[in-house]
Amino acid sequence: MNLTLFVWRQKGPAEKGRLEQFNAKDISPEMSFLEMLDTVNEGIIKDGKEPIAFDHDCREGICGMCSQVINGVPHGPQEKTTVCQLHMRNFKDGGSIYIEPWRARAFPVIKDLIVDRSALDRIIQAGGYISVHTGGVPDANAVLVSNDDADAAMDASECIGCGACVAACPNGSAMLFTASKVTHLAMLPQGQVEAARRVCVMTEAMTQEGFGNCSNHYECQAACPKGIRVQFIAKLNREFIRAQFKGARRESPQ
């Protein structure tokens, strides 16, 4: 396959970026999208130039590191698939591909396709956990969890923290990401004690980090490589209302 790439190049956070054109020649349909970029990069290096910088690590769709907008779609055209799991057989020979970084107010570009997503970490730091110390916990089977609840918690907990939902949202909202963590913990008996406080501090952190509001566009769900559903946002909203009734304190749990 031969393809024409238009790739976002930006030297640093303060620099201006632009699209640069590259030819990807002799690409095999068996290659993953990132292997295609590897091949292009080898050529760029041989030409004595700086290769395209992009985040990646596991290349198995689980670490959440890869993050590219391909032809306007975060993670590209294949449903429920991260960039690293996307294969070239999904593209047409002779076509053009536009490759850009996540774009959101809360994700400043570091270089080329690499952005700073530490804002997502700070949402979790605000309270996206159960405040248990190491040691002194009951036997694992002491508290039963229904198969359905465990399943629902697991569905929500599959989020890989990639940030595609933010990149897809016209408001740059991190609602799907936050809702997945809130739901995961709210589905489990162990997560109940802090549920009200958790939803309050996490949504507050979201606003503080510069993420936009959710106005039900549902672009996030379409972009999410892990099939995290917008129903979890409804769950977050319910948890939030319940917390307001309880008059939950907003400080983060310690």
Residues near ligand SF4 (CB under 6 A) = 159-165, 176-177, 180, 223-226, 228
User: Tokens at residue 36, please?
Assistant: 């295609």
CB 52 → other proteins: shortest distance, Å? 9
What, of ligand SF4, other proteins, ligand FES, none, does residue 14 touch, CB below 5 to 8 Å by kind?
none
- Rounded CA-CA distance 10/19 in Å is 9
Asked if 216 and 200 touch (Cβ cutoff 8 Å), the reply is: no
SS (H, E, C) 19-69: EEEEEECCCCCCCEHHHHHHHHHHHHHHCCCCCCCCCCCCCCCCCCCCCCE
CB 29 → ligand FES: shortest distance, Å? 19
Q: Hey, how many other C-beta atoms are within 10 angstroms of the C-beta on 222? A: 15
CB 242 → other proteins: shortest distance, Å? 19
Does 59 contact ligand FES by CB under 6 A? yes
- Contacts to other proteins from residues 143-172, by CB under 8 A: 143-147, 150-151, 153-154, 157-158, 160-161
Does 75 contact other proteins by CB under 8 A? no
Tokens 């897809």, located at residue: 168
- Rounded CA-CA distance 130/224 in Å is 25
CB 146 → other proteins: shortest distance, Å? 5
Does 64 contact ligand FES by CB under 6 A? yes
Does 41 contact ligand FES by CB under 6 A? no
Residues 6+ apart with CB under 8 A from 184: 153, 154, 156, 157, 159, 191
Does 48 contact other proteins by CB under 8 A? yes
Does 84 contact ligand FES by CB under 6 A? yes
User: Tokens at residue 122, please?
Assistant: 């700070």
Residue (35 or 149) nearer to ligand FES, CB: 35
79 to 98: interface string for other proteins, x by CB under 8 A:
-xx---xxx-x---------
